[in-house]
């Protein structure tokens, strides 16, 4: 997604050090390496062990892979003795291999265990959350992370099924239950879309990790270094848009009206949406947004 646009916007110094915060299956990383000089360096992170294993196929001395969430970027760099980088790329959301593997439990299109963890070795699965949370907590997750107006109806149905001795444990069971609880839906959208999105975001703490990664990237970028973020839904993009807007403005302290304003730390370089050809080749691209910003020279 935005393979050429993101990489070309990110790389300003081919001899610099760059971060691919979500390796996935390596599309962006491979393209980044093509843009780097022999002295350049690329650090890739991914919380998914399968993605880390796939990265072994990248045989390049300039490249290294690290099993970590992009919210852990400062500790990864500290271990490597790197204080600053020239660019950070974040490609958010779930990858195609994760969606297309039934055993990972991300998709209502395939039946499989209701897991949804990007790193199956850590944390609580979606099924485990639904088995222990109360109705109000489930409704809050589905409403806040899925923007689902039928969140209460869905949560009540989930709890009723659980109390009958048959908790939801598979993707097909969840999709069927949601279809029965959702009265109307946008044309062309499966009734379970928003619920699956909500549970995935919650289980993986995606929005919290994004906010952490944005703040950390700002602190780690060299002056002139760039941040490129690809978001796939409004919750993610709203966080990125708000962050860049906030850091691209002079801030005044109202308690000290005569003090110098806090200098801006980023310059917004714009946003891009996918073209018709990319959407036709990959329907998932239809909601994607690329935003790019540059670290200012003033700290």
User: Could you give the 3-state DSSP secondary structure of residue 78?
Assistant: helix
Tokens, residue 282: 């990959």
What does pTM read for this prediction? 0.90
Whether the per-residue pLDDT at 224 is higher than 90: the answer is yes
pLDDT tens string 50-75: 999 999 999 999 999 999 999 999 99
The 8-class DSSP code of residue 16 comes to S
pLDDT tens readout for residues 94-136: 888 888 889 999 999 899 999 999 999 999 999 999 999 999 9
Cα–Cα distance measured from residue 105 to residue 98, given in angstroms and rounded to the nearest whole number = 8
Distance in angstroms between the alpha carbons of the first and the last residue of the chain = 32
Burial class (CB in 10 A: 0-12, 13-18, 19+), 225: buried
CATH code at 119-203 = 1.10.150.170
Average pLDDT of the chain? Answer: 92
- Listed by start position, the domains of the chain span 3-96+206-295, 119-203
φ/ψ of residue 298, rounded to 5? -90, 125
Question: Per-residue pLDDT averaged across 14-34, rounded?
Answer: 96
Mean pLDDT along residues 201-208: 97
Tokens of 99: 């969606």
CATH classification (class only), 3-96+206-295: alpha beta
Q: What is the pLDDT of residues 233-254, one digit of tens each?
A: 999 999 999 999 999 986 555 5
Spatial separation of the C-alpha atoms in residues 208 and 215, rounded to whole Å: 11
Determine how many CB atoms are found less than 10 A away from the CB of residue 104: 23
Average pLDDT (27-42) is 97
Task: Give me the pLDDT at residue 257, please.
Answer: 58
Read off the tokens for 189.
């959208």
For residue 160, what is the enclosing H or E element? Answer: helix 151-163
Task: Give yes or no for residue 282 having a pLDDT over 80.
Answer: no
pLDDT of residue 130: 98
Distance of alpha carbon 280 from alpha carbon 271, whole angstroms: 20
């Amino acid at each position: 997604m935005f393979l050429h646009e993101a990489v070309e916007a990110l790389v300003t110094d081919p001899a610099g050090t760059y971060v691919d915060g979500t390796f996935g299956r390596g599309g962006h990383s491979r393209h980044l390496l093509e843009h780097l000089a022999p002295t350049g360096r690329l650090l890739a992170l991914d919380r998914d062990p399968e993605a880390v294993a796939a990265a072994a196929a990248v045989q390049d001395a300039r490249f290294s892979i690290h099993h970590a969430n992009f919210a852990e970027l400062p500790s990864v760099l500290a271990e490597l003795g790197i204080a600053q980088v020239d660019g950070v790329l974040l490609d958010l959301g779930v990858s195609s291999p994760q969606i297309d593997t039934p055993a990972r439990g991300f998709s209502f299109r395939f039946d499989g265990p209701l897991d949804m963890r990007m790193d199956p070795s850590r944390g609580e699965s979606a099924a485990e959350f639904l088995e222990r949370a109360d109705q109000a907590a489930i409704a809050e997750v589905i409403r806040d992370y899925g923007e689902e107006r039928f969140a209460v109806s869905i949560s009540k149905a989930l709890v009723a099924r659980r109390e009958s001795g048959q908790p939801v444990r598979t993707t097909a069971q969840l999709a069927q239950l949601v279809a029965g609880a959702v009265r109307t839906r946008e044309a062309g959208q499966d009734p379970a879309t928003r619920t699956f999105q909500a549970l995935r975001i919650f289980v993986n703490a995606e929005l919290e990790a994004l906010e952490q990664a944005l703040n950390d990237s700002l602190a780690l970028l060299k002056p002139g270094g760039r941040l490129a973020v690809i978001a796939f839904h409004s919750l993610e993009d709203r966080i990125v848009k708000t962050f860049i807007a906030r850091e691209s403005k002079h801030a005044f302290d109202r308690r000290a009206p005569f003090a110098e304003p806090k200098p801006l730390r980023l310059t917004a370089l714009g946003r891009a949406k996918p073209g018709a050809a990319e959407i036709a080749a990959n329907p998932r691209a239809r909601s994607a947004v690329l935003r790019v910003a540059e670290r200012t020279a003033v700290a």
